[in-house]
Every structure is written in structure tokens, then in C-alpha cells.
Amino acid sequence: MKNKTVLIFGISGQDGSYLARLLLKKGYRVVGTSRDAQMSSFANLKKLGIYDQVEVLSASLGDFRSVLQALNHARPDEIYNLAGQSSVGLSFDQPVETFESIGIGTLNLLESIRFMDSGARLYNASSSECFGNTDGVPATEETPFRPRSPYAVAKAAAFWEVANYREAYGLFACSGILFNHESPLRPERFVTQKIVAAACRIAAGSGETLKLGNTSVQRDWGWASEYVEAMWLMLQQEQPGDFIVATGATYSLQDFVREVFACLDLDWEEHVELNSDLLRPTDIMISVANPSKAEKELEWKARSLMPDVAEMMVAEKKRQLSSVQ
């Protein structure tokens, strides 16, 4: 992969940082964007020890001219669209910003690639949230979308934009329909990291109570650094396509909570309180995936299931807390 250039929109996030590390190891020149590269801390790139190996520039997917400038500067062989508002919960409070950053942003990127006509291959980050409730039936790439949040609506729109440009203009453009994937790089506004951080503080004697909303929801949780491998593999295929990326195993949020507290030798029921104020207006009750297409065509399969994810996140949080003391 030497002499190949990749442009990652949203490089400072969880997935962007892990993807940058993966592609650096493969010999790519890695260019990444942030809305304001001079002000961004790029904390995740620094945590992974790769900040000095990455070229960063300012770009906003909401600004067509800005996107063109980024493509013209980087001249990428591969483009990864990982930018945009990434919180389902926050999307209910900021629906317009969510749609603009994802729906309009993706359209600006697609139109820029078409305008440049450089042959660059595009990966677009889609989401399992697009499926909505499938009543426990494992979702495949053919399952209809029934989004239940402003975030999911925006991701669904972006998915079909990618499909349209692929069919209408012959772009090599793929969407990865990723189910939940976690890591220590998650901010605490994501419930998994919120749980891990609180549990570790409680184990250290904080005396606090962890407040959660609906713990009966069921999700497919994987390990983020594995999922970026699937992203890269999509762009190495002869033909573009869309793929579900998931473990194929579903657990309840209560299972995750129990696992995290058990890693710390704690009984979760003694430290957790359910709070109706934390419930979303609408939510997906059961999220189940069938990732067989990725396993067959990409030869990719998740190696870590939810218990592994919980254990690794707790271990890293404990290490972080001990290093501060």
C-alpha cells in the first residue's frame, strides 16, 4: 500500500483514529480532517501515539468548497467519511445539525468526488440504527430501513445518497452498516463508557450511584479497532457494495452493566438506579445482526464479543485512573 494516500473525514473520532493507525501500518500516507485543525486537540491520535505521523487539515463537510479543497490538497486514493454528529441521544436535541452534518455533508462529499473525477474510492459510515426495530429478526443488507431517531434518518439518507451515486455515476462507493462498536476512545456521553467510568470510580470508593435509562434494550457490541479492518477491506474489493459489520451476538444493556461491575468484583444492583429522565422519545428495543455477507465476501469476522469488550474497557479505564494517582 506504499505511495497510496487516504483522506479520513472525522479522523479525530474513535473510528477515525483506529483507522488511521491501521492504514499507517499498511504504509499509507494518511491525511485527516477536523473542522478546525488548529484548535482540535486530536486527543485520540495522541493516545494512540500516531499524531506526528498524520497530516491534518481543516475541512467541513457542510461546506462544499471546503470539501473540494481537502480533496484537491490530499489527492487521495481512498476516502473515508467518518464525520458528522455521532450521538443518537443528542440528535433528538439537535435534529437539524445532525441531518446537515450527515445527510448534506455526505452529499457534498459525493458531489466533490464526482466533480474531481479522480477515481478515488469512498467508504461511508452508515449505522444499524437505520433498521429500527426488526422484532428480533437478524438484519441483513436487504432489510428495509425504519429509522427511529433523527440520527438514523440522517444516516439512512446518506446511505441512499451513496447508493444513488454508485449507480448513477459509477463511483466506487460503499457503506458499512456498523452495529455498536466500542473502545476506550469513546467519550462518556456514550452509555458504555459512562458505565465503565462510573463503575471504576465506584470501585475506587466514590460512593456514587450510576443512573441509567432503559437497561432492557438489546444491542450487538463489538470492538472498534476490529471494525476499521472491515472498512478498509470494503475498498479493496473488485466491485463496490454495502456490508453489515457486527459480531452476530446480541446482549441487553443490563448484561453489559453486569459484566462491567463483575470485572470489578461488584454487584451492579447495589450501585445502579434507573431514571426515567434518561429515556429517549423513541428507541430500538432489540438490535440483531446477520454479518454473514462480510464474513463470506470480505473474509472478516469479529473476534471480540460483548464480554471481551467490557473486560478490555474496564482494564484500560483502571490503567488510566491508576496513572493519574
Residue 303 phi, psi dihedral angles, 5° rounding: -100, -20
Give the pLDDT confidence of 115-149 residue by residue, as tens digits. Answer: 999 999 999 999 999 999 888 899 999 999 999 99
Q: Is the pLDDT of residue 184 over 90?
A: yes
Q: What is the pLDDT of residue 285?
A: 87
Catalytic residues: 127, 129, 151
Q: Is the pLDDT of residue 186 over 70?
A: yes
Mean pLDDT value across residues 9-26: 97
* 3-state DSSP of the chain: CCCCEEEEECCCCHHHHHHHHHHHHCCCEEEEEECCCCCCCCHHHHHCCCHHHCEEEECCCCCHHHHHHHHHHHCCCEEEECCCCCCHHHHHHCHHHHHHHHHHHHHHHHHHHHHHCCCCEEEEEEEHHHHCCCCCCCECCCCCCCCCCHHHHHHHHHHHHHHHHHHHHCCCEEEEEECCEECCCCCCCCHHHHHHHHHHHHHCCCCCCEEECCCCCEECCEEHHHHHHHHHHHCCCCCCCCEEECCCCCEEHHHHHHHHHHHCCCCHHHCEEECHHHCCCCCCCECCECCHHHHHHHCCCCCCCHHHHHHHHHHHHHHHHHHHC
Q: What is the pLDDT of residue 86?
A: 82
Please give the domain boundaries of the chain with CATH numbers for all domains.
5-181+222-245 (3.40.50.720), 186-219+249-287+304-324 (3.90.25.10)
Q: Whole-model pTM?
A: 0.94
pLDDT band for position 1 (50/70/90)? low
Give the pLDDT confidence of 25-51 residue by residue, as tens digits. Answer: 999 999 999 988 788 889 999 999 999
Residue 24 grid cell: 499507517
Give the pLDDT confidence of 238-291 residue by residue, as tens digits. Answer: 999 999 999 999 999 999 999 999 999 999 999 999 887 766 676 788 999 999
Q: What is the pLDDT of residue 321?
A: 81
d(Cα 308, Cα 254) in Å, to the nearest integer?
A: 16
